[in-house]
Amino acid sequence: MPPTEHVLVLALMLFCIGAVGVLVRRNIIFILLSLEFMMNACALVFVAAGAKWGQPDGQIMYMLILAIAASEVAVALGIVIQMARRFRTLDVDAASELRE
Protein backbone atom coordinates (compact mmCIF):
# COMPACT_ATOMS: atom_id res chain seq x y z
CA MET A 1 0.00 0.00 0.00
CA PRO A 2 1.34 3.48 -0.81
CA PRO A 3 2.28 5.46 2.32
CA THR A 4 -0.57 7.57 3.63
CA GLU A 5 1.56 10.73 3.72
CA HIS A 6 2.19 10.47 -0.02
CA VAL A 7 -1.50 10.04 -0.74
CA LEU A 8 -2.23 13.10 1.41
CA VAL A 9 0.35 15.13 -0.53
CA LEU A 10 -1.22 14.02 -3.80
CA ALA A 11 -4.68 14.99 -2.50
CA LEU A 12 -3.34 18.37 -1.40
CA MET A 13 -1.82 19.02 -4.82
CA LEU A 14 -5.04 18.00 -6.53
CA PHE A 15 -7.03 20.27 -4.21
CA CYS A 16 -4.69 23.18 -4.96
CA ILE A 17 -5.06 22.63 -8.70
CA GLY A 18 -8.83 22.75 -8.25
CA ALA A 19 -8.63 25.88 -6.10
CA VAL A 20 -6.44 27.63 -8.68
CA GLY A 21 -8.94 26.65 -11.35
CA VAL A 22 -11.83 28.15 -9.37
CA LEU A 23 -9.92 31.39 -8.79
CA VAL A 24 -8.40 31.82 -12.24
CA ARG A 25 -11.05 30.68 -14.69
CA ARG A 26 -14.11 32.82 -15.42
CA ASN A 27 -16.03 30.26 -17.48
CA ILE A 28 -18.63 28.65 -15.22
CA ILE A 29 -18.14 25.18 -16.76
CA PHE A 30 -14.45 25.30 -15.84
CA ILE A 31 -15.23 26.51 -12.34
CA LEU A 32 -17.54 23.52 -11.82
CA LEU A 33 -14.89 21.24 -13.26
CA SER A 34 -12.34 22.59 -10.79
CA LEU A 35 -14.84 22.02 -7.97
CA GLU A 36 -15.02 18.38 -9.06
CA PHE A 37 -11.24 18.14 -8.66
CA MET A 38 -11.43 19.62 -5.18
CA MET A 39 -14.18 17.20 -4.16
CA ASN A 40 -12.19 14.29 -5.53
CA ALA A 41 -9.19 15.37 -3.48
CA CYS A 42 -11.37 15.27 -0.35
CA ALA A 43 -12.69 11.85 -1.32
CA LEU A 44 -9.13 10.62 -1.81
CA VAL A 45 -8.25 11.72 1.74
CA PHE A 46 -11.26 9.84 3.14
CA VAL A 47 -10.44 6.64 1.27
CA ALA A 48 -6.75 6.88 2.23
CA ALA A 49 -7.66 7.31 5.90
CA GLY A 50 -10.08 4.39 5.73
CA ALA A 51 -7.38 2.24 4.12
CA LYS A 52 -4.83 3.25 6.74
CA TRP A 53 -7.03 2.05 9.62
CA GLY A 54 -8.49 -0.85 7.70
CA GLN A 55 -12.06 0.31 8.29
CA PRO A 56 -14.91 0.63 5.75
CA ASP A 57 -15.90 4.07 7.12
CA GLY A 58 -13.67 5.91 4.66
CA GLN A 59 -15.44 4.35 1.70
CA ILE A 60 -18.84 5.20 3.18
CA MET A 61 -17.80 8.84 3.49
CA TYR A 62 -16.63 8.60 -0.12
CA MET A 63 -20.09 7.42 -1.16
CA LEU A 64 -21.69 10.35 0.67
CA ILE A 65 -19.31 12.73 -1.13
CA LEU A 66 -20.39 11.07 -4.36
CA ALA A 67 -24.05 11.80 -3.56
CA ILE A 68 -23.20 15.41 -2.70
CA ALA A 69 -21.17 15.83 -5.89
CA ALA A 70 -23.98 14.41 -8.00
CA SER A 71 -26.59 16.76 -6.52
CA GLU A 72 -24.22 19.72 -6.74
CA VAL A 73 -23.58 19.07 -10.41
CA ALA A 74 -27.28 18.61 -11.20
CA VAL A 75 -28.30 21.92 -9.59
CA ALA A 76 -25.25 23.80 -10.87
CA LEU A 77 -25.80 22.66 -14.45
CA GLY A 78 -29.41 23.83 -14.18
CA ILE A 79 -28.04 27.24 -13.21
CA VAL A 80 -25.61 27.06 -16.16
CA ILE A 81 -28.49 26.46 -18.56
CA GLN A 82 -30.43 29.40 -17.12
CA MET A 83 -27.34 31.58 -17.36
CA ALA A 84 -26.72 30.65 -20.97
CA ARG A 85 -30.34 31.52 -21.81
CA ARG A 86 -30.38 34.83 -19.97
CA PHE A 87 -26.94 36.29 -20.58
CA ARG A 88 -25.96 34.39 -23.76
CA THR A 89 -22.55 33.74 -22.19
CA LEU A 90 -20.95 31.47 -19.58
CA ASP A 91 -18.80 34.22 -18.10
CA VAL A 92 -19.59 34.45 -14.37
CA ASP A 93 -18.77 38.16 -14.37
CA ALA A 94 -21.82 38.72 -16.55
CA ALA A 95 -24.02 37.49 -13.69
CA SER A 96 -23.05 40.18 -11.19
CA GLU A 97 -26.38 42.03 -11.42
CA LEU A 98 -27.19 41.62 -7.74
CA ARG A 99 -24.29 43.91 -6.90
CA GLU A 100 -25.56 46.82 -8.95
Q: Binding of another protein at residue 12 (CB under 8 A)?
A: no
Cα separation, 96 vs 90, in Å, equals 12
Q: Does 79 participate in binding another protein (rule CB under 8 A)? A: yes
Q: Is 53 exposed, middle or buried (0-12, 13-18, 19+ CB in 10 A)?
A: exposed
Asked if 95 interacts with another protein (CB under 8 A), we say no
The CA distance from 20 to 14, in Å, is 10
The dihedral over CA atoms of 58, 63, 26, 15, expressed in degrees to the nearest 10, equals 10
Counting contacts by CB under 8 A, is residue 59 touching another protein?
yes
55 in contact with another protein (CB under 8 A) = yes
The contact set with another protein (CB under 8 A) reads: 1-3, 6-7, 10, 13-14, 17-18, 20-21, 24-25, 27, 29-30, 32-34, 36-37, 40, 43-44, 47-48, 50-52, 54-60, 62-64, 66-75, 77-82, 84-86, 90
